[in-house]
Structure 1
Amino acid sequence: MCGTVGMFVGCSALSYCPRRLLRGPGGAVEGEPEGRRPEEAPERPEPPELPSYRSPFRTWYERSSVRSSPRRVLDSGDGEPGLRLFPPDLVPVTRHPLVRALPEHRFQEVLVQHLYRYLDFTAKLEYLVVNRTVLGIAHGSVGVAVPEEMRLDAYKMYCDEAYHALFSADLTAQAGRATGVEPRLPDEPFFLRRLQEILDELPGADRPLAELLFVIVSETLISASLADMPQRDEVVPAVTGTIRDHALDEGRHHAYFAQFLQRLWAQLDQAERRTAGRLVPRLMDAFLRPDLDALREELAGYGLSKDHVEQVIAEVYTPEVLADHFRATSQQTRRYFRDLGAFDDRAAQAELAAHGLLD
């Protein structure tokens, strides 16, 4: 997965890389045998039986966060003990007595680190994964026929996602200055490692489809995750405002990708549909599963013993809790795929069961 579209040899999205299209006809691609050029993914005609596209972006110029929301700025007192930089209700480990017993400054750090994780996840999801696919839709180079209005809306979504990455980086820097707490983040987000592992296991021809499906999954799952953000007086306004901006934009993206999925599915052959149905549960799991190894390292940094760290992990992230969370968060996304018949295949049902996604 590269941060700049198509810059690396062997990029799995090369077949619909917009950067290649900008070279014009005859532009050689580095790493390909002499005289051979990858062909643009052929765009199959849009089936006539699909419902008309209803744009979720009709009021984008007036309502999108990049067009209408102010920059969210932390006040000088936002790092004080009376205010929280993230809602404790949304940080699972804060429910454990061993974490609640930490000194106040350590408990605050737990919340700050969770804010950093959320912002890092948001930024890297948007600019490493989602915007690559969105730009391919805008250029018409992903091999999926969509109405012209849908392509134009993809440009709007590209602006949204770039702004989400910007305000995430901006708020991270502000929080660091306000609290003096350095982020403890892995070099690569867990979801990105999991996605790459899935892609590495697939035949090359299936990887572009897997990336398209992952973006559909992530853009329809993330709005469910953001819906849990409470309005609390003890959480600093810059944080609640940022997450509210994000949630409102992602609601539009959810509606867009629900319709994009219908068009993608109608243009897949039966073999591709079977592949998709088996992939989707794994992609959902890659998006939703927490990085417990990184969390272990973080908890140890607060002075908890190894045994206490394992106790917190085991008692907070039980298999039942994880399965309940996965099912609840993915309910709408699974319904979209189920309504298309994606899970009719026995192998797809087995994948749902293996990842705790059967109701």
Structure 2
Amino acid sequence: MSSYVPFADSWEARATIRTRPRRVLENDHKLIYPLSRQPLVLGQAFQQHCPQWRDFALVQTLYKFINDIVIFETEIVDRTARRIAKDRFAVAFPFAARYDAMTVVIDEDYHALVAMDFLQQTIALTHIEPITLPAEIELSHAIPAALALAPAHLQDAVELICVAIAENTVTNDVAAFSRDDSVKASVRGMMADHLLDEGRHSSFWARLVRLYWLDADEQDRTRIAAILPVFIGHYLTNAIQKRFDSHLIAKLPVCQAVRAELAAEAAAMDFPIGHQHPLMANIQRFFSQSGMLDSRCVQEALGPLLTPQVRP
């Protein structure tokens, strides 16, 4: 396997668990969650019939976001990084990479802890209790769906690539969140802290995938490439978000006619899964950085998911 360049020194100097104080939620006029990330409150029906419930909807959406972080960090990334760190992964990596993987475990569990702290702070400040939150995220289905298609000897490699795609996608998502000046400074600060670590993580996962991909034989590459569209299709669905929005609408104190209008607008909010999907640019960038997009089999398998200029 090709040489690996560790980032342990960078982690010691910059990791948020080592360098950042606790973020305390402000009681000010700013939003607790970006309006752009909850289109329901920007819809015509919401604006017309229940704009006074905007903050309730945004707080509940923040709770879901926090819940998603906890699931993603502790049930998805932590699992894979911990197995790599403890050398219980079918793909062998050098000790330096396994050491870095353990720093990822520490970072991700810390991110989950900070998210839970913000949940408690938000409840204390707003006196708004969370509605029932999803027990899973899109990756909870997407990764098992991909693994079900992989032969036994490729399952860990497929898991590695799926987690790497997700980590590279979430990094850019977090970046947009941290720059929204309409949001409370502490929330943006939490996301900026998260981003500082995730930038290192996204590079780490892309590096591991590149190491694996360079050594993988062509038959294995082709098998993995065929699985990628299935994973992406499950990953980019918004079915869980739609169910949450429906549950949120059901909790609003409005009449049934308004509830039906809100539900109709929410149901229409969809992004077709293709190269124009908002997250596909991030995913394509990962495929390029990891070297996977250099392979003809990946180009052919992804087909219309890629921007036209890189299609085979």
> Which TM-score tier does this pair reach, normalised by the shorter chain?
0.7 to 0.9
Q: 2: CA distance between counterparts of 1:210 and 1:339?
A: 13
Match of 1:158 among 105, 117, 120: 105
Partner of 1:13: none
Change (3 A) 1:207 1:317: same
**Quick one: distance in 2 between partners of 1:337 and 1:67?**
29
SS of equivalent residue, structure 1 residue 319: coil
1:259 to 1:190, Cα distance in 2 relative to 1, 3 A:
closer
Aligned length: 301
Could you say which residue in structure 1 is the equivalent of 2:80?
133
CA deviation map 1:19-59 (0-9, x unaligned): xxxxxxxxxxxxxxxxxxxxxxxxxxx2xxx3x43334422
Is the counterpart of residue 295 in structure 1 residue 295 in structure 2? Answer: no
Name the structure 1 match of 2:121.
174
Q: Distance in 1 between matches of 2:137 and 2:120?
A: 18
Is it true that 1:333 corresponds to 2:291 in the alignment? no
Higher mean C-alpha deviation, range 302-311 or range 167-176? 302-311
The answer to whether structure 1 residue 311 and structure 2 residue 262 are counterparts is no
Letter in 1 for 2:165: V
Q: 1:244: which partner in 2?
A: 192
Query: Shift in Å at residue 126 of structure 1?
Result: 1.1
| Letter of the structure 2 residue corresponding to residue 247 of structure 1 | L
2:4 paired residue number: 53
Give the AA of the match of 1:106.
W
Which blocks of at least 5 consecutive residues in structure 2 are unaligned?
Answer: none
User: CA offsets per residue over residues 207-237 of structure 1, 9 Å max, x none?
Assistant: 3333222111111111111121254554222
Structure 1 segments of 4+ aligned residues over 6 angstroms from their partners: none
Cα contact 2:85–2:98 (8 A) shared by 1: yes
For structure 1, the residue ranges without an aligned partner over 5 or more in a row are 1-45
For the pair 1:261 / 2:213, whether they are aligned, the reply is: no
Deviates more, 1:195-204 or 1:283-292: 195-204
For residue 99 of structure 1, report the CA deviation from its aligned partner. Answer: 2.7
Aligned residue in 1 for 2:297? 345
Distance 1:320 1:100 in 2: 28
Q: CA deviation at 1:86?
A: 0.8
Paired residue for 2:141? 193
| CA distance, structure 1, for counterparts of residue 285 and residue 87 of structure 2 | 27
Preserved CA contact (<8 Å) 2:82 2:102: yes
Aligned to 2:176: 228
CA distance in 1, matches of 2:107, 2:61: 23
Any idea what SS the aligned residue of 2:288 has? helix
TM-score normalized by the length of structure 2: 0.85
Within 5 Å, which residues of 2 pair with 1:262-277? 262-277=210-225
Shift in CA distance, 350/147, structure 1 to aligned 2, threshold 3 Å: closer
**1 CA distance for matches of 2:273 and 2:163?**
27
Please give the alpha-carbon distance, in whole angstroms, between the structure 2 residues aligned to 1:63 and 1:257: 18
Report the Cα distance in structure 2 between the residues aligned to 1:282 and 1:146, rounded to whole angstroms: 27
TM-score w.r.t. structure 1 length? 0.75
**Post-superposition shift, 1:245?**
0.7
Q: Quick one: structure 1 residues 332 and 318, their matched pair in 2 at CA, closer, same or farther if it must change by over 3 Å?
A: closer
Note closer, same or farther for the CA distance 1:70–1:300 as it changes in structure 2 (3 Å cut).
Answer: same
**1:326: how far off?**
3.0
The equivalent residue for 1:63 is 14
**Kept after mapping to 1: 8 A contact 2:85/2:99:** yes
Percent of aligned pairs with the same residue? 26
Report which of the two has the higher share of helix: 2
C-alpha distance in structure 1 between counterparts of 2:129 and 2:147, whole Å: 32
Counterparts of 1:149 and 1:176, CA distance in 2: 41
Stretch of structure 1 that moved more, 145-154 or 254-263? 145-154
The structure that has the greater radius of gyration is 1
- In the superposition, relative to structure 1, how do residues 132 and 99 fare at CA in structure 2: closer, same or farther (>3 Å)? same
Q: Residue 200 of structure 1: CA displacement? A: 4.2
Residues 32 and 59 in structure 2, CA contact (< 8 A), matched pair in contact too: yes
Q: Who is 1:145 aligned against?
A: 92
- Asked if the contact 1:213/1:280 (under 8 Å) is kept, the reply is no
